Amino acid sequence: MGQAGLVSFMNVGIVMLIIGFSVLFLMVRFELGPASGLSPVRKWIMTLALGSGMVAFSIKLMIIATLVNFPAQTIRLFAAQQTDPLQLEREAPNAETPIVRLPGLQKAYVWRTLPETAPAPKWNPTTPEKVVLGERLFHDTALSIDRTLSCSSCHDVRNGAGEDHRPGSLGVGGQVGSRNAPTVWNSGFQSVLFWDGRAASLEDQAAGPPVNPAEMGMPSLEAVEQRVNENPAYRDAFARAFGADQPITIRQITAAIAAYERTLNTSDTPYDRFVRGDRQALSAAQLRGMALFQSVGCILCHSGPNFSAASVFDPPPAALRLFPAFDAPHYVKRYQLDKDVGANTPGSKQAVWRVPSLRNVALTAPYLHNGSVDNLHEVVRIMATLQRGKRVSNDAADNATLVWSSRDRTLARIEAAPLSDRDVDDIVEFLKALSSDRLLARSQAGVL
């Protein structure tokens, strides 16, 4: 219907409204009103009540009139409230790079930088004395049963990216764990720790590995206390950190380690510089990857400044997520993703895991809870398929996914543009922008 047709429709509507209100008013005034003994004010109220449908129709006509008479202004106002297109530079051989706009980016998601300081509980404020003590304990092999392993054995922060580059970490006696050691960098921003989220704080987490038989193998937390008390060099350090009259306990030991870990933060990344205002910090491919990271829905789990829904920033309803969320048997079988169900009930078909942070992810291979994948491009394909239900294909026509629910016995057809190899490459490039400058320098120097 063109503008002329809308005007004609409005004219007819207005005439019908006038006739309708006139007939209704006369009926109320000369028939219904006298029969009911209503006062003049109540007659008007009855007229409006009986004519509520006409009132609603009048409001609709006003909206149509606004759109007809001010179409450009109205559409611009609505569009400004709904979308916030990101201008991206297209790669070009010359300096005059054209600008393209990517539609569909929702204004609601705000990209944020990582704070310099991780929050600490009120009972364990971060102090220089605790940090110095915690660093020493973190690297002390005396906390393991055979004095061969320390926290840093699996979480190398002096020379590495806070992990050990092994699918499963080595424990005492040559034991190999079934889960990949996550990086300790930026762990102070996580709301729950361990892959299954069983620790609610860094202090709780620090008490786990020393007494795990497959890790550091100490028989009890009391035995850990005894090991530390046996070393007279620790007495002055604990006195400076907690007070001269305080005994050395496991609570203080884990508090010091946690205080040290809260200083292991990396906000020195190209991504952080870009969000702070440096428009040259990200390449064209990284900007495209950043847009895809949002539009594909990666931000639903890897959100906030730490790129993890299990972080202290605007905590979501759940820090743990089902994995896999979509059915892809070839990935599940190839990488043995169903052998460990994490925090889910034993025997479940789906696992439940804490959402890991993606900061420094390009430096922390291998990936996933079991360390079964050592290629970041492959991880992007796996997560796009298993968690977002996306198809990875270079065929633009390959855009349909059939989802069968055995519980509801329903079949759904989901249509969405597939991720191409270039899309995967761009997302990987964006993930590289989450790498710390100083950790990346180590990697390029051959240390990592």
Residue 413 phi/psi, 5-degree rounding, is -110, 115
Least Cα distance to 95 among 277, 270, 273, 280 occurs for 280
Beta bridge partners of 352: 322, 342
- Tell how far CA 388 is from the center of its chain: 13
DSSP 279-292: TTSS-HHHHHHHHH
- Give the Cα separation of 412 and 428 in Å (integer): 30
In the chain, the amino acid numbered 132 is: V
- CA–CA gap between residue 371 and residue 155 (Å, rounded): 15
Question: How far is the C-alpha of 200 from the C-alpha of 131, rounded, in Å?
Answer: 20
Rounded Cα distance between 150 and 152, Å, is 5
203, 215, 225, 378: the active-site residue? 215
- Buried b or exposed e, range 206-220, using 16+ CB within 10 angstroms: bbebbbeebbbbbee
**How many Å apart are CA 259 and CA 71, to the nearest integer?**
59
**Does 203 participate in catalysis according to the annotation?**
no
3 state SS of 293 = helix
Query: How many whole angstroms separate alpha carbon 431 and alpha carbon 379?
Result: 11
Active centre residues (catalytic): 215
